């Protein structure tokens, strides 16, 4: 097949997406496909990923420690459209478009709707699933309506909502629809509150203030109609923030997690239920924390396009049931949204 791996884009997770993209692209080439990596935002103007199909797995990317400066990217390139002009034309000629995008229009349904309208097959979830999973306040309402345990919380809109005075600590403040822990803070006392709120608002006009769940952090990948083994994440310090997610060796990941059989089954069933409620597609990944005091799993969020980077969780979970990275990419490509 001729496959375009769409990555980058105008997103705080732009670099994470390149990291996923090169791995996916090389894997698909090794599987015998012709593959073109393409930057959604810069398109043909991204000199690192020229618009040519390759049949040798030669893509490479070295992951910067810092998040990308998007304002600077816009200024230096002078581009203001979120999809470069040539991208859809190129995608129309491919057999399938593999979405190695994370965050922003690549994961919130907007791009998926445009691909639908243009009759371009793509991987992952439909625009509805992406939208429901991306908007954390909307997912939370759906979790509550379906008796899925989730941290209590509420959304605040910049300049519109009253700043609450009765917040319980510790709490978590996060942008409503970001990813990769960008803009997320754990707030331990009232003195830390304003700075954390300002940080989250610097990424988005809507933020979520949530009860902080203290316990074991786990994640469950869904592939097809099955839940993969649960993975436990143990950061060496702090919580599972951007650095702990993407710098090798900053967190221990244990898969399958040492959780008793009954609770494992319960969490896997909850994850499958969440995948269905949010109308997700062929694959997804659902994040939970098992509260230390009660041993109950609280769902934090669902990811419509989970990471495929060297440190990402879903590939490790697939590997635990004998599905290697290349096979995982192949399955995803063979089950597109059309
Ligand atoms: N309510 C919460 N209680 C405890 N930790 C949280 C909570 N919400 C988020 N976190 C921490 O922040 C990380 C990122 O939050 P998450 O909601 O998964 O957003 P995203 O991964 O999309 O940035 C989580 O992996 C977890 O470490
Ligand atoms: Mg998460």
Which ligand approaches the C-alpha of residue 174 most closely? 1
Model pLDDT, residue 65: 84
Distance from the alpha carbon of residue 212 to the mean position of ligand 1, in angstroms? 9
According to the model, what pLDDT value does residue 29 have?
98
Q: Enumerate the β-bridge partners of residue 36.
A: 4
Residue 279 CB coordination number (10 Å): 17
pLDDT score recorded for residue 161:
81
Rg (CA), the chain: 19
Task: Determine the average pLDDT of the residues in 68-91.
Answer: 95
For 133-150+213-323, CATH number? 3.30.470.20
User: CATH assignment of 153-211?
Assistant: 3.30.1490.20
Arithmetic mean of pLDDT, 29-44: 98
pLDDT digits (tens, 9 = 90+) for 140-185: 999 999 999 999 999 999 998 888 888 999 999 999 999 999 999 9
Pocket test for ligand 1, best of 179, 181, 278 (most atoms within 8 A of CB): 181
**What is the model's pTM?**
0.96
Lowest mean pLDDT across 124-133, 165-174, 275-284, 289-298: 165-174
**Ligand 1 atom index nearest CA of 183:** 23
In which band, very low, low, confident or very high, does the pLDDT at 66 lie, cut at 50, 70 and 90? confident
As a whole number, mean pLDDT of residues 18-37 equals: 98
The topology under which CATH files domain 2-122 is Rossmann fold (3.40.50)
Question: What share of the chain in percent tops pLDDT 90?
Answer: 93
Rounded to an integer, the average pLDDT of 258-276 is 98
Percent of the chain with pLDDT over 70: 100
Atom 2 (ligand 1) nearest CA: 212
Q: Which of 151, 174, 232, 237 to mutate to test the pocket of ligand 1 (most atoms within 8 A of CB)?
A: 174
d(CA 279, CA 130): 8
Domain ranges, ordered by start, for the chain: 2-122, 133-150+213-323, 153-211
Write the pLDDT tens digit of every residue in 298-325: 999 999 999 999 889 999 999 999 999 9
Listing DSSP states for 132-185 in one string gives: HHH-HHHHHHHHHHTT-----EEEEETTTSPPPS---SSEEEEETT--TTTT-E
Compute, in angstroms, the gap from residue 245 CA to the centroid of ligand 2.
10
Q: What is the pLDDT of residues 221-239, one digit of tens each?
A: 999 999 999 999 999 999 9
pLDDT band at 293 (very low <50, low <70, confident <90, very high): very high
How many angstroms is it from 168 CA to the middle of ligand 1? 17
Q: Ligand 2 centroid vs 178 CA: distance in angstroms?
A: 9
pLDDT band of 207, cuts 50, 70, 90: very high
Question: What's the 3-state SS for 50-110?
Answer: CCCCECCCCCCCCCCCCCCCHHHHHHHHCCCCCCCHHHHHHHHHCCEEEECCCCHHHHCCH
Residue among 226, 139, 128, 131 nearest 174 (CA) = 139
Pocket residues for ligand 1 (CB within 6 Å)? Answer: 151, 172, 174, 178-181, 184, 210-213, 217, 239-240, 287, 289, 300-301
CA 18 to chain centroid, in Å, comes to: 13
Q: Pairing state of beta strands 2-7 and 34-39?
A: parallel
pLDDT exceeds cutoff 90 at 338: no
Average pLDDT value for residue range 21-40? 98
Q: 211 CA to middle of ligand 1, Å? A: 11
Write down the pLDDT at residue 269. Answer: 98
Residue 80 clears pLDDT 90, i.e. is over it:
no
Question: 50-64, 159-173, 265-279, 285-299: lowest mean pLDDT where?
Answer: 159-173
Mean pLDDT over each residue of the chain, to the nearest integer? 96
Q: What count of Cα atoms within 13 Å lies in the side-chain half-sphere of residue 107?
A: 32
């Amino acid at each position: 097949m001729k496959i375009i791996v769409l990555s980058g884009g105008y997103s705080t997770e732009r670099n994470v997406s390149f990291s996923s993209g090169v791995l996916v692209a090389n894997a698909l080439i090794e599987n015998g496909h012709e593959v073109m990596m393409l930057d959604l935002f810069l398109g043909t103007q991204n000199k690192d990923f020229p618009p040519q199909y390759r049949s040798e797995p030669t893509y490479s990317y070295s992951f910067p420690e810092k998040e990308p400066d998007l304002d600077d990217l816009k200024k230096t390139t002078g581009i203001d459209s979120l999809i470069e002009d040539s991208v859809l034309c190129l995608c129309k000629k491919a057999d399938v478009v593999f979405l190695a995008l994370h965050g922003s229009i690549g994961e919130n349904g907007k791009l998926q709707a445009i691909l639908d309208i243009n009759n371009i097959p793509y991987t992952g979830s439909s625009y509805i699933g992406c939208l429901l999973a991306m908007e954390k306040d909307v997912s939370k309402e759906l979790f509550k309506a379906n008796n899925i345990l989730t941290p209590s919380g509420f959304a605040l809109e910049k300049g519109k909502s009253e700043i609450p005075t009765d917040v319980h600590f510790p709490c978590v403040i996060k942008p409503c629809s970001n990813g990769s822990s960008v803009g997320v803070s754990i707030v331990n006392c009232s003195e830390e509150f304003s700075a954390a709120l300002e940080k989250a608002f610097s990424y988005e006009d809507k933020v979520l203030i949530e009860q902080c769940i203290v316990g074991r952090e786990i994640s469950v990948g869904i592939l097809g109609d099955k839940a993969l083994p649960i993975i436990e994440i143990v950061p060496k310090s702090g919580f599972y923030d951007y650095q702990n997610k993407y710098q090798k060796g900053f967190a221990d990941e244990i898969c399958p997690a040492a959780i008793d059989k009954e609770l494992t089954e319960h969490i896997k069933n909850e994850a499958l239920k969440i995948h269905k409620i949010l109308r997700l597609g062929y694959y997804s990944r659902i994040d939970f924390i098992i509260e230390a005091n009660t041993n109950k799993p609280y769902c934090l969020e669902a990811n419509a396009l989970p990471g495929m980077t060297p440190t990402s969780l879903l590939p490790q979970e697939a590997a635990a049931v004998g599905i290697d990275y290349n096979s995982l990419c192949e399955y995803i490509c063979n089950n597109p949204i059309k």
